[in-house]
Amino acid sequence: MSLNAIDVSNIFKSYDSLKAVDGLSFSVTAGSCFGLLGPNGAGKSTIMKILYGKASRDKNKDSAINVLGFDPSTDELSIKYLSGVVPQDNNLDEELNVEQNLLVFSKFYGMAASKAIPRINELLDLLELNEKRRVRIKELSGGMKRRLVIARALLNNPKLLFLDEPTTGLDPQVRHAIWDKLRFLKKQGMTILITTHYMEEAFQICDQLAILDKGKKVIEGNPQNLVNSMIEPYVLEIHSRSAYEKIKEFITGKSIRVDLQEENALCYAQTAQELQTLAAVLQAGECFLRQANLEDLFLRTTGRALNEHQ
Ligand code: ADP
C-alpha cells in the first residue's frame, strides 16, 4: 500500500489552445497537508477538480492519477465516497437553515438519520455553529457559510479533504479560526489538499506545497525550507523610484541583489545589517525592512507577483 494519498503524474488539461494544466506531477503523503499555490489562473482549481472527478483530463498515454487507490476518470464515485470537497463556491441551499443543509447532504451519502444526526451535532460543535443551527443561510456571515461548507465536507468522515480557496475574502480572525480547525483535522490523520493564493495560509498549514504558474509547477517543497534555501533571508522594500535613486550609489560592489520594479525596488541580502546601512540613508516611510517570504521566491522564479492577475 502506497504511503501517498495522491499521486499525480504528467497531467494536461486544455481548453482550446489554452493549457490550464501543463504536464503536472506531484504526490501527497497520507496524513499531510499539501498546498497548491499560485496566482489567479495558474490552474489550481482545474487540477483539484480533475482529482475529485469534476473535470476530465486530456488523454495522453503516460499520464496517471491515483487518489486513495482510484483513478478519478474511471472511479469518481469511489473517490467521492472517501473524500470531502470544499469547492470555491459555497453552493449551499439558501432557503434552508444550517442543520437542514447538512441533513440534505447526509441523504446524498445514504446516511441513516440515526447516524447522521449525532454526526451533524458533532460537526456543528467542531465548527462552532451550534448556536446557528436553525438560522437560514441567507442570514449567515461569509465566515459562517465557509465553516458550514467545511462541516458538510466532513459529514462522511473522509480520509481526504479537498479545499479550494477555503478562506478567500474572509477577515483575518475567521481565517485563523479555520486554520485552527484544519490543523486539528490533520492531527486526526486526515490528508488535506488545499488551493490558495495566500502565502501565509500555505505557511500556516501546509507541510509541502507546489507553486504553479500557467499550469506548470515552478517550485515544490516544504514552505520554510524553500524560503531558507532558495532566497536571501532579508529584504528592504523601497517604496519609490526617487528613494531608490538616493541609495543606488551605496549598492555598488556589495552583495545586494536588486529587483527593480516600475515604482518600487526590492533589495535582497544575506544580512539585515547590510540593508540597515541603506535604510539609514532614507526617511522613515520610504522603506521597510522584512524577512523574505514565498512571494519573494515566486517573484524571483517567475518575475511576477503571486497575487497578480493574468
Ligand atoms: P486558478 O484556480 O489557479 O485560479 P483555474 O484552474 O481556475 O486557475 O484556471 C486555469 C485557466 O483555465 C484559466 O486561464 C481559466 O480561465 C481557464 N479555465 C478554467 N476553467 C475553464 C473552462 N471551464 N473553460 C475554459 N477555460 C477555463
User: Residue 309: which pLDDT band, with cuts at 50, 70 and 90?
Assistant: low
Other CB atoms within 10 A of residue 77 CB: 11
| Residue 78, CA distances (Å) to 89, 97, 188, 278 in order | 23, 29, 22, 59
Q: Is 158 in the pocket of ligand 1 (CB under 6 A)?
A: no
Question: Does the beta carbon of 41 lie inside 6 Å of ligand 1?
Answer: yes
Closest Cα partner for 84 from 147, 9, 161? Answer: 161
What pLDDT digit, counting tens, does each position of 123-140 carry? 999 999 999 999 999 999
Taking only the tens place, the pLDDT of each residue in 22-70 is 999 999 999 999 999 998 899 999 999 999 999 999 998 899 999 999 9
User: Which regions of the chain does DSSP assign to beta strands (E)?
Assistant: 4-15, 18-29, 33-37, 64-67, 83-86, 160-164, 191-196, 208-213, 216-221, 234-238, 257-260, 265-269, 287-291
**Minimum-distance ligand 1 atom for the alpha carbon of 42:** 3
CA distances from 256 to 271, 273, 287, 293 (A): 10, 11, 15, 17
What's the average model confidence in pLDDT over 299-307? 81
How confident is residue 171, by pLDDT bands cut at 50, 70 and 90? confident
Numbers of helices and strands, H then E, in the chain? 11, 13
Q: How confident is the model at residue 308 (pLDDT cuts 50, 70, 90)?
A: low
Q: What does the pLDDT look like over 14-29, one tens digit per residue?
A: 999 999 999 999 999 9
Which residues touch 184 (CB under 8 Å, ≥6 apart)? 126
Give the end-to-end CA distance of the chain in Å, rounded to a whole number: 40
Q: Can you read off the three cell numbers belonging to residue 94? A: 439558501
Average of per-residue pLDDT values in the chain: 93
Cell of 54: 469534476
Query: Which atom belonging to ligand 1 lies closest to the Cα atom of 39?
Result: 3
Pairing of strands 257-260, 265-269: antiparallel
What does DSSP say about strands 234-238 and 216-221: parallel, antiparallel, or unpaired? unpaired
Q: What is the pLDDT of residue 197?
A: 83
Q: From the CB of 210, is ligand 1 less than 6 Å away?
A: no
For the Cβ of 273 lying below 6 angstroms from any atom of ligand 1, the answer is no
> Which whole number is the average pLDDT over 267-276?
94
- pLDDT at position 199 is 86
Query: Regarding beta strands 64-67 and 4-15, do their DSSP bridges make them parallel or antiparallel, or are they unpaired?
Result: antiparallel
Give yes or no for residue 301 having a pLDDT over 90: no
Residue 2, pLDDT score: 63
Q: Quick check: 1 pLDDT over 60?
A: no
The phi and psi torsions of 30 (rounded to 5 degrees) equal: -60, 135
Write down the residue that cell numbers 497531467 correspond to. 11
> Quick check: CB of 39 below 6 Å from ligand 1?
no
Is the CB of 43 inside a 6 Å radius of any atom of ligand 1? yes
Contacts 24+ apart (CB under 8 A), 66-73: 66/2, 66/4, 66/6, 66/7, 67/5, 67/6, 67/160, 68/5, 68/6, 68/159, 68/160, 69/2
Q: Vertex 77, ends 74 and 79: CA angle to 5°?
A: 90
At the topology level, CATH places domain 232-291 in Alpha-Beta Plaits (3.30.70)
Share of the chain above pLDDT 90, in %: 83
* Assigned C-alpha cell, 18: 489554452
How far away, in angstroms, is 59 Cα from ligand 1 center? 18
Q: What is the mean pLDDT of residues 85-114?
A: 94
Atom of ligand 1 nearest to the CA of 164: 2
Pocket of ligand 1, candidates 12, 14, 15, 217: which has the most ligand atoms within 8 Å of its Cβ, to mutate? 15
Domains of the chain, by residue range, sit at: 4-221, 232-291
CATH number of 4-221: 3.40.50.300
| Ligand 1 pocket check for 47: Cβ under 6 Å | no
Closest ligand 1 atom number to CA of residue 212: 3
Amino acid making up residue 97: N
84 lines ligand 1 (CB under 6 A): no
What pLDDT was estimated at residue 168? 87
Neighbour tally for 89: CB within 10 Å = 8
Determine the pLDDT at residue 104. Answer: 96
pTM of the shown model: 0.92
Sort residue 278 into left (φ over 0), alpha (ψ -120 to 50) or beta.
Answer: alpha
